[in-house]
A and B are shown apart, each in its own frame.
Chain A
Amino acid sequence: MSGKYVFSTSVCRLYQVEYAMEAIGHAGTCLGILANDGVLLAAERRNIHKLLDEVFFSEKIYKLNESKSRYIIYNIVETYGIPFLPSHRYLLQYQEPIPCEQLVTALCDIKQAYTQFGGKRPFGVSLLYMGWDKHYGFQLYQSDPSGNYGGWKATCIGNNSAAAVSMLKQDFKEGEMSLSSALALAVKVLNKTMDVSKLSAEKGVYRDTCIQSAWSMQHMQQC
């Protein structure tokens, strides 16, 4: 059996889910911040081998459709391509981009199913979703291997995420963050949580922002 069905005598716990969540904690840091005029996702880039031929511009941030949602994943093989299905199925049926929360719910339902049915192990993936829709404006969501999700003003997943979240808690100013101040905050937090002495484009921090009609994907400036 998978070990999922092993319960302790006093507490009902799904160990596979917990192991998956712990594995996420070893992956590259990734944080998201909701600003007044957009959402920001910043991710640490780890595969900086000199010989690696760069096919994607970024291995971790994916664009789902024109006006919204990108997401960051850990363990690419596991979930690449899965979010495209619900989002394009919605587009096919309604000829409108899928509202953010509905996409998050669809993916989390899949993730939860892997914790309950089929005897398969859960996805070792935490996702940060950012997007815009006409119902709730700019949004940031986080989901984890259990299939649980929440909407956030600022959050972090991956290595040192707890430290990052407490820093964000102190420095995030509700209602006063613009994209540029969010970027500054993101850099400051990543500086503390990443192992490198100085952040740079080569060390690889990718940043991605969501503005209602325009996308920009830029390397971090030398800081």
Chain B
Amino acid sequence: MFKLSDKILLLCVGEAGDTVQFAEYIQKNIQLYKMRNGYELSPKAAANFTRKNLADYLRSRTPYHVNLLLAGFDETDGPGLYYMDHLSALAKAPFAAHGYGAYLTLSILDRYYRPDLTRDEAVDLLKKCIEELNKRFILNLPSFSVRLIDKEGIHDLEKLMPVGAK
């Protein structure tokens, strides 16, 4: 997970090396914007900037093979989650997942998500997803780090460790 600004996080998965290269490139550019102009990019603008870069590289000899989730809190628009895949598609979504785990968790999220979830309910929903992975996913994933963004900024929540996983 990469901190793009005080209120924006970027999660980057995919090809080894591409992930860090691309995410750091975006991160430094976002910080440069803040230094040049005195104010930060909004999450929506940051997401579109990331997508545009991914799209431009996609059509070059050196595409980045990464999948991204961008989460941010905007003063006027509130919280926002942006899903981006390696073909440079961008969508603002209430919930999202990448990878094989997505096959298992998206249905859980679909079933239990409500737009008016409280913070604790959202964490519970996340726990449900992880339990599902623990039960049905072939790989053993013992621990998940969790971060939350609200109007105060980015907070580290306690690690989630499903029971029975080592």
A residues with CB within 8 A of B: 92-96, 99, 101-102, 134-135
Contact = CB atoms under 8 A, between A and B. Distances in A.
Contacts of B76: 134
A102 B45 contact: no
A199 to B, nearest CB: 39
Contact of A93 (B37, B39, B48): B48
B49 interface: yes
Interface of B: 37, 39, 41-42, 44-45, 48-49, 52, 76
7 contacts: A93-B49, A94-B41, A94-B45, A95-B44, A96-B42, A96-B45, A96-B48
A94 B45 CA distance: 5
Complex A-B, nearest 6 residue pairs according to Cβ-Cβ distance, in ascending order: A94-B45, A95-B48, A96-B45, A135-B39, A93-B52, A94-B48
Contact of A102 (B37, B42, B48, B52): B37
Nearest to B41: A94
B59 to A, nearest CB: 15
**Chain B interface, >50% SS class:** helix
Contacts of B37: 99, 101-102
A152 to B, nearest CB: 19
Nearest to A92: B52
A95 B52 CA distance: 10
A96 B45 CA distance: 6
Residue with the greatest number of chain B CB neighbours at <10 A, chosen from A94, A96, A99, A101: A94
Contacts of A93: 48-49, 52
B39 A94 contact: no
A183 B138 CA distance: 72
Contacts of B44: 95-96
Nearest to B51: A95
A15 B49 CA distance: 42
Contacts of A94: 41, 45, 48-49
Nearest to A93: B52
B118 to A, nearest CB: 28
Contacts of B49: 93-94
Contacts of B48: 93-96
A96 B37 CA distance: 15
Contacts of B39: 99, 135
Nearest to B38: A135
